[in-house]
Every structure is written in structure tokens, then in C-alpha cells.
Structure 1
Amino acid sequence: MPILTVKVSQPASPSLNKAISEMLLERTTRILRKKRELTAIVIDYVPPENWIVGGATLAAQGKNSFYFDIKVVDGTNTKDEKAQYIAECFEAFGELLGPLHEESYIYVQEVSADAYGFGGATQEFRYIRSKS
């Protein structure tokens, strides 16, 4: 836990997979205090000619973009942590992808502990079990 779903406007590349996943793992563990060994990342690549912002493709604009969401249990991170995470991830994606379109998005999605889990158990169940 958590899971990150990432989309980038680049051709698929094993080296970019590694760079994106390492960058996100570092920030997710350092800023949001999530366990590296429980963090899952899925990366999808979208051709820049298929990514449209303001009616024009990124290819036509000469820009790159990304979108990712991360699901975390509600109440486990502060507003300051989420703001720092978004700022640092945006900056790092700019370094990885080149000129970024401002319309690149990060969504820290807070989900209820009783409706989110892995391995067949909710996070709320894991919390309660850890207290007994």
C-alpha cells in the first residue's frame, strides 16, 4: 500500500520505467511515510499525439505531460505533506520528461480504511488486528 497509477506522454522505455518508479518510491516513502515494500506502481505510456490539452496535441505544442494518482488511507498524511509531495513530484517529472505542460496532474486520493486494502484484508482490519 499504496498504489500509484501513472500516465506519461512518452514512448515506453525500461530506463524511464526505472527512473519514474525510483523517483516516486523515494518521495512516497520520504514525504508520505509509506512503506516501499508495499508500494505498487503501474506506468502507462500515451503517445504525445494522443494527449490533447486545450484542443491541441502535446506533440503539436512541443510539450510533455503526466498524470498520476496515489491512493492512501484518509487521515494518514497532513496537508503540508501532500503539498510537498505534489510540488516535488511535479519538479522531478519535469527533470525526467523535459518541457512539461502546466496541465500535468497529481491526485493524492484519500480513501476510507474500511474500503481499501490488499491481500484480501482492509486497512481498517489490519489496524484493528495490530491493536490486539
Structure 2
Amino acid sequence: MPMITLDLSRALDADSRLAVVRAISDLTAELLGKKRELTALAISHAEHWSVGAEAVDDALTAFHLETRVTAGTNTKQEKARYQAAVWQALEALIGPLHPASYIVVSDLPADSWGYSGETQELRHVRAHLVS
């Protein structure tokens, strides 16, 4: 159950947006082991994007992607492979990419977030009480 936000320096057409959503959702499931049916992804674009106090021109796409996961559920190696694969996918789908674009995997404590009104910690405790 990750929550993913992707901020872009430009808007995407509907076909590109769908391709990006599918690619990132698939990579999140495959490389981070997250349930695809619980993966939420929001895409937005900034009207004004700059790097080094200079506007990013239309020749490159700059982005910031943040994937929030429950702390302790992924290894450093899994997160590194995920970042490399997401970069490659975005390069292929919406590139060329500005080199000062960022992919962040944020580890959040299980008691600090959840979905459907329940924390991840509560789900973990409940699962261990039942078994």
C-alpha cells in the first residue's frame, strides 16, 4: 500500500499519463513487493519549475517522485533497484529527463499511516493475534 506522488515540469497527454501510471504501479509491485490493488498514484505538474534558479526548458522533463512505504518493509537493495528501474521507465516514456530530478522512497512508521481508517501497525498486530 504505497502512496506515490509524481510532480512533473510539464503536463502529460492522456496516453503518456496512463503509461506512466501503469509502469510505476507495476514496478512498485514487482520490485518493492507492494499490492498493486492498494497502490495509489497522483500525478501533477508545476506551471513553473526551476533548477539552479533557471527555468527548466521544454527540451527536458524534470520530476520529483515520492513513494511512501511502511518503514522496515523494504531493503536498501530493493529501494536502489526500484529507483534505477523507475528512472529508466520514465526516461523511456517521457524523457529526456533533467538530471536534477528526484526519486524518494520515504519510510513511514507503521503507527503513523494507513488506509481505510486503520494504521499499518493495527493491521500488523491484528494479523499476529489471529495466527
- TM-score interval for Structure 1 and Structure 2 normalised by the shorter chain: over 0.9
Give unmatched runs, 5+ long, in structure 1. Answer: none
Other structure's SS at 1:80 match: helix
Deviates more, 1:104-113 or 1:12-21: 12-21
The 1-side partners of 2:39 and 2:77 are apart by 21
Q: Structure 1 residue 5 and structure 2 residue 5: aligned?
A: yes
Partner of 2:91: 94
Whole-angstrom CA distance in 1 between matches of 2:78 and 2:54: 34
Deviation at 1:98, TM superposition (A): 1.9
- Residue in 1 aligned with 2:22? 22
Can you give the 5+ residue segments of structure 2 that lack an aligned partner in the other structure? none
- Tell me how far apart the structure 2 counterparts of residues 39 and 29 of structure 1 sit (CA, whole Å): 8
Q: Write the deviation string for residues 46-74 of structure 1: whole angstroms up to 9, x where unpaired.
A: 24xx11011211117x3211111011011
1:7 and 1:91 map into 2 onto residues whose CA distance is 17
Bigger share in helix:
1
TM-score, length of structure 1 as denominator length: 0.92
For normalisation by structure 2, the TM-score amounts to 0.93
- The number of residues matched between the two structures is 129
SS at match of 2:34: coil
Return the alpha-carbon distance in structure 2 between the equivalents of residues 11 and 30 of structure 1.
Answer: 27
Point out 4+ residue stretches in structure 1 off by more than 4 angstroms.
none
Q: What percentage of aligned pairs have identical amino acids? A: 38
RMSD after superposition: 1.2
Distance 2:111 2:52 in 1: 38
What residue number does 2:55 align with?
A: 57
Structure 2 counterpart of 1:44: 44
CA distance in 2, matches of 1:107, 1:31: 15
Among 104, 113, 118, the alignment partner of 2:115 is: 118
Q: 1:10 Cα shift?
A: 2.1
